[in-house]
Structure 1
Amino acid sequence: MKNQSVTNYLDWMSVIIYIIMVVMGWLNIYSSSLSTVEDSVVFDLSTYYGKQLMYIVLTVPLIFIILAVDGKFYEKFSSIIFGIALLSLAGLFVFGKTVKGQANWYSFGSFGIQPAEFAKAATALALAKYLSDVQVNLKDVNRQIQALGIVFLPVALIAPHDPGSALIYSMFVLVLYREGLPPWYLWTGFVAVILFMFSLIFEPWAVILMALGVIVFVYLKTRLVDRNIIASAIVLVLVSGFVFSVDYVFDNVFKQHHRDRFNILLGKEVDMKGIGYNTNQSEIAIGSGGWFGKGFLEGTQTKGGFVPEQHTDYIFTTVGEEWGFLGSMVVIALFLGLIFRIIYLAERQKTKFSRVYGYCVAAILFMHFFVNIAMVVGIFPTIGVPLPFFSYGGSGLWGFTILLFIFLKMDANKVNEW
C-alpha cells in the first residue's frame, strides 16, 4: 500500500478547483494590469501578469515537492517549522523592507518575500501538533492559554507591520472551538466586536444602557435557580470598562488611515477622493458589470486604472466588471466549494493532527475570502487582505498552495494509517 503513488489517492476535486481558481486569477491579473492588448507579451517579467505567470510556473515543482515528502514529516517537524516561521517574522523588525508604510517584506532585488503568508501554514501545523497530543483537553484553562498562545505569538510579530494579516489568525478560534474550546470565547469575541462598532457610532452611556437592557433581559429569562446577580453585575462593569476604552484605543492605538477607513465605513466621513476612493471606485466597477459583465479585457473602469491596487487586494473588482454578477457567483461558488470540500475531508481523517490541520486550512481560506470580498464591496474597512489564488503576488500564491497541498498530502496518506 505504501508503494502506491500519492496521485492515486489525491483528492482531485480539490486540485481541479485549485487549478481553475489559479487560472482565473491570472486572467484577471492580466486584464487588470494590461495597458494595451497590441503590445502585450505574456512572459514579460516587467509586468505584473508576467511575474505572476512565473510564480505559477514555479508553483508546479513546489507542489511536487510537498507531495513527495512523507506526510508524517509535517507532524514530526511541525515545531521546528513553526520556530523558523517565528524567526522569519521577528527578522522583519531588523531586515524588513518598508513598502507603503509596512515593513513586512524581505527584499531580494526586484522580488520580495512576505513571511507572514508562510507563517499561516506553520501556525496551523503547530496548533494541530499541540491539539493532537492525547493529554490536551481544552476544557482545562492552562491548555486553553497554551493553545491560544500558539496563535498569539505570530499575531504579536505580524500586527505591528500588517494588522490585516494578523486579523486572519482570529479564525483559529473556530478550530479550537471545534476541538472543545468553551463557546463563551466565541460569544465574548462576537460581543466585543459589536460593542466596539456601537461605541464608534453612539455615545458611551447609550451603549452601556443598551448593554444593561440586554443583561436584564437575559437575567429575567434565566431560570430562578440559575440567576446570579453578582455575575451579571461583573459583566456590566466589564462591558462599561470596554466601552469607555474604545475611544482611547481608536484615537491613540489605531493609525490615522485605519481611523479614516472605519469612519467612512460607518458613514461618519465621506471622502470619495481620498481614503474612500478605492472602495468607491471598486463599487462603481462591480456595479457596472451588470449580470453578465462587459467581457474579458473590456472593463472600462479596469482599463482606465480607476481602482488602485486592482491586481492585488482589489482583484475582485475585475471579476465583477468583466465577468458580471454571474461570474462573481462562480468565483464565490468555487471558494465555498473548496472550503466545504476541505471540511468534508477533514472529518474523514484518521488522525487528529490531520483533522485539526484541515480545519485550519478551511478557516484561513474562508477568512481571506470573506474579508477580501466584504472589503471590496464596502461592507468592511480596507485592511489589505488578498484574495487567495487570485490576487497578485508570489508569496501569497505559494503560501496558500503550501497550506492547501500539505493537507491534500495528509489526506492522500490516510490510506496508510489504518
Structure 2
Amino acid sequence: MKNQSVSNNIDWITVTIYVALVVIGWMNIYSADMTSTSDYYFDFNQNYGKQAIFIGLNVILITVILTIDAKFYEKFSTVLFGASLLLLIGLFLFGKTIAGQRCWYAIGSFTLQPSEFAKAATALALAKFLSESQINLKNVNHQIIGLAIIALPVLLILPQPDPGSALIFLTLIFVLNREGLPSWYLWSAFFAIILFVMSLLLKPHFVVLIAFSGVLLHYIKSRRIKRNILASLVVLIFMTGFVYSVDYVFNNVFKQHHRDRFNILLGQKVDMSGIGYNTNQAEIAIGSGGWFGKGYLEGTQTKGNFVPEQHTDYIFTTVGEEWGFVGTIVLVLLFVGLILRILYLAERQKTKFSRVYGYGVASILFTHFFVNISMVIGIFPTIGVPLPFLSYGGSSLWAFTILLFIFVKMDANKVNEW
C-alpha cells in the first residue's frame, strides 16, 4: 500500500467539486469584469486575466502540496503557525493600507494578504494541540490553551482593522466543541450576540430586565436550587456589565462604517445611496435574475457596474442575476456538498490530527460561504468576507486551495496509516 500513487487515493469527489467552483468563479469574474473593449479571454490587464494566472499557478501549488509527505504538515504545524503570526505582526510595520485596512504586503503591483494563509496555519496548530494524547478539554488549562491558539491571530487582525477575517478564526471554537469543549462556551457566545443586538435596539435597563427574567426562570426550573443560586447571580452580574458596555464599545471601538452597517441592518438607519448602496444594488441584481437568470454575460446590473466590488466580495450577485434562482441553488448545493464531503472524510480519518484538521477546514469554508452570501443578500453586515474559490484574488484562491488540499493529501495518505 505504501507504494500506491497518491492519485489513486485522492478523493476525486472533493477535487471535482473544487474544480467546478473555481471554473464557475472565473466565469463570473469574467462576466463582472468584461467590457466592450475586452478582446480575448486572457487579457492580463483585466481582473479575469489575472485570475487565470492565479488559477494556472494553483496547479503548481496543488502539485507541491500533494507531493509533500502528509506527516510534514503535522510535524511543522507549530512552525507554520508561528510564521503566520510573524507575518501578521509585520503588517504593522511593512503593511500596505488599502481602503482603510492595513492587511496587505505589496510586492510590486501584487498584494498578499497573510490573514488568508493564517487560517490554514491556525487550523493545523489547533489540530496539533488537540491530537496530543494528554489533552482533555474538560481541563481548564487545556481549554485556555486551545482558545489562545484561536485568539492570537484574532488579536493581531482586529487592529488592522479586519473584523471579517477575525470572525472566521473565532468560528474554530466549533472544532474545540467537537473535541470536548463544554457547550456552555457556545451558548455564552450565542447569548452574548443576542444581548449585543438587543442592546442596540432597546434601552439598557430593558435588556437587563429581560436578562434578569431569563435567569430567574432558569433558577426556578432548576432542580439544584442551592447549587445554582450563586452561579445565577454571577451570570446576571456579568450580563448586566456586558449590556451596559455595549453602547461604549459600539460608539468608541467600532469604526463609523461598521456602526452604519449595523444600523442599516437593524433598520435604525436608511442610506441606500451611501453605506447601504452595495447591499441594495446586490439585492436588486439578484432579484432581477428571476428563476433562470438573464443569461450568461447578459446581466444588465452587472454590465452597468451598478454593484461595486462585484468581482470580489459581491461575486454572488453575478450568479444571481445571470443564472437566476436555479443557478444560485446549484452553487449553494456545490458548497454544501463540499462541506459535507469534508466532514464525512474527517470522520473516517485514522489519526486524530487529520480528523481535527478536517473539521477546521469545514468550519472555515462554511463560515466564509454562509457569511458572504448572507452579507450579499442583506441579512448580515458587510464585513469583507470573500466567497471561497469564486471571489477574485490570488491570496484568497491560493489560501483556500492550500487549506483544502492539505486535507486532501492527509485523506489520501490514510491508507498508509494502518
Does TM-score exceed 0.5, indicating one fold?
yes
SS class of match (2:270): coil
Q: Check conservation: 1:302, 1:318, Cα contact below 8 A.
A: yes
| Cα distance in 2 for residues equivalent to 1:39 and 1:58 | 23
How far the C-alpha of 1:40 sits from its partner, in A, is 3.0
SS class of match (1:91): helix
SS class of match (1:104): strand
Question: Which residue type is aligned with residue 132 of structure 2?
Answer: D
Q: Which residue of 2 aligns with 1:136?
A: 135
Residues 148-227 of structure 1: matches in 2 within 5 Å?
148-161=147-160, 162-224=162-224
Query: What do residues 368-403 of structure 1 show as CA deviations (whole Å, max 9, x unaligned)?
Result: 000000000000000000000000000000000000
How far the C-alpha of 1:43 sits from its partner, in A, is 1.6
| Cα distance in 1 for residues equivalent to 2:374 and 2:224 | 43
How far the C-alpha of 1:242 sits from its partner, in A, is 0.3
Q: Which residue of 1 aligns with 2:347?
A: 347
Q: Which residue of 1 aligns with 2:67?
A: 68
The question of 1:231 aligning with 2:231 is answered yes
| Cα distance in 2 for residues equivalent to 1:401 and 1:9 | 18
The question of 1:100 aligning with 2:99 is answered yes
SS class of match (1:228): helix
Query: What do residues 239-274 of structure 1 show as CA deviations (whole Å, max 9, x unaligned)?
Result: 110000000000000000000000000000000000
SS class of match (1:105): strand
Q: Which residue of 2 aligns with 1:324?
A: 324
TM-score by length of 2: 0.99
| Cα distance in 2 for residues equivalent to 1:133 and 1:146 | 13
| Cα distance in 1 for residues equivalent to 2:225 and 2:274 | 57
Q: List runs of 5+ in structure 1 lacking aligned partners.
A: none
| Cα distance in 2 for residues equivalent to 1:228 and 1:130 | 33
| Cα distance in 2 for residues equivalent to 1:77 and 1:389 | 26
Q: Check conservation: 1:282, 1:317, Cα contact below 8 A.
A: yes
How far the C-alpha of 1:225 sits from its partner, in A, is 5.3
| Cα distance in 1 for residues equivalent to 2:213 and 2:102 | 45
How far the C-alpha of 1:209 sits from its partner, in A, is 1.0
Q: Which residue of 2 aligns with 1:404?
A: 404
SS class of match (2:172): helix
CA 1:304–1:220 in structure 2 vs 1: closer, same or farther (change >3 Å)?
same
| Cα distance in 2 for residues equivalent to 1:231 and 1:352 | 35
Query: What do residues 112-132 of structure 1 show as CA deviations (whole Å, max 9, x unaligned)?
Result: 111111000000110100110
Q: Which residue of 2 aligns with 1:359?
A: 359
Q: Which residue of 1 aligns with 2:108?
A: 109
TM-score by length of 1: 0.99
| Cα distance in 1 for residues equivalent to 2:224 and 2:2 | 61
Q: Check conservation: 1:219, 1:227, Cα contact below 8 A.
A: no
Query: What do residues 267-293 of structure 1 show as CA deviations (whole Å, max 9, x unaligned)?
Result: 000000000000000000000000100
| Cα distance in 1 for residues equivalent to 2:61 and 2:224 | 61
The question of 1:389 aligning with 2:389 is answered yes
SS class of match (1:46): coil
Q: Which residue of 1 aligns with 2:297?
A: 297
SS class of match (2:104): strand
SS class of match (2:103): strand
User: How many equivalent pairs are there?
Assistant: 417
Q: Root-mean-square deviation (CA), in Å?
A: 0.9
Residues 117-128 of structure 1: matches in 2 within 5 Å?
117-128=116-127
Identity of aligned residues (%): 68
